Every structure is written in C-alpha cells, then in structure tokens.
Amino acid sequence: MSSLEAFVTILGLALVTVLTRGFLMLPDRELPMPAWARRALKYAPLAALVAIIVPEVLMARGALITTPLDARLIGAAAAVAWFFFRRGILGTIVVGMAVFLPLRIGLGW
C-alpha cells in the first residue's frame, strides 16, 4: 500500500471511529432498533476479532502451520491460559510476550 493509500485509509478509519462511537446519537430523534439487530451487535465484534486472530496465530503463507513448535502458537496458548487464570488484558500481553520472545529470539521458532 502506498503512503497516499495508507493516508486515505487512516482518515477513513478516523471517520469510522467518529461514526461508531456516536452512532445512535447522530440523529436528533431516537431510532427504533429491532431486537435481533441488538443481539447481533453482541456477537459481531467477537467474531471479527477471532477471525483476525486465528489466521495470524495458526497460519503462515496462506496455509495452516504443520508444527506445534511455533513461537506464536505457544505464546498465544500461554496468553489465553493466563487470561482465564487471572482475567487481565495487561497480564495476558506480558505472559504471552514472555513466552514468545525467548522462543522467537533464542530458538528461532
């Protein structure tokens, strides 16, 4: 992506922030929203996050990785385990990196 394209993309993303954070405050009158749409809103962000994370961790060059000896896989597993043990996002990042970095830098996994 060229710098100009990236610039336009970033401005678009800023607009997305403004639009989503103020979404239901934009109209002057309150809009009715169907119940199923409200419930769908609960699942969509989780689905998008997982759809981004899973290929980032489990795939390399467009295919599933074939070895469990992968720094990302083991780091992510440690991070998830920590999250369900302590429930903090900060600890999840720290533990994940503490497992990932030695494997990546030390062993080249």
Partner 1 sequence: MSPPGSLVAALQRHVQSTCRHPEFRHGLRDMAPMVPGLAAWGLVTGVAMVRSGLDPWLALLMSLTVYAGSSQLASLPLIAVGAPLWVVLLTAFVVNLRFVIYSAQWRFYFGHLPRWQRVSLGYFGADMCYAMFMRRWSEPEPQPGQVPYFAGGAFVLWAGWQLPSILGIVLADGVPAQWGLGFAGTLALIGLACSLLVDRATWVCAGVAGAAAVAAFALPYKLHIVVAVAAAVAAGLMMERPGGGGGRPIGAVQPARRSS
Residues 14-53 that bind partner 1 (CB under 8 A): 14, 16-26, 28, 30, 33, 36, 38-53
- Site for partner 1, residues 81 to 100, rule: CB under 8 A: 83-84, 87-90, 92-94, 96-97, 100
Q: Output the smallest distance, CB 47 to partner 1, in A.
A: 4
Contact call for residue 58 and partner 1 (CB under 8 A): yes
Q: Which two tokens stand for residue 54?
A: 């899973």
User: Would you call 54 exposed, middle or buried from its count of C-beta atoms within 10 A (0-12, 13-18, 19+)?
Assistant: exposed
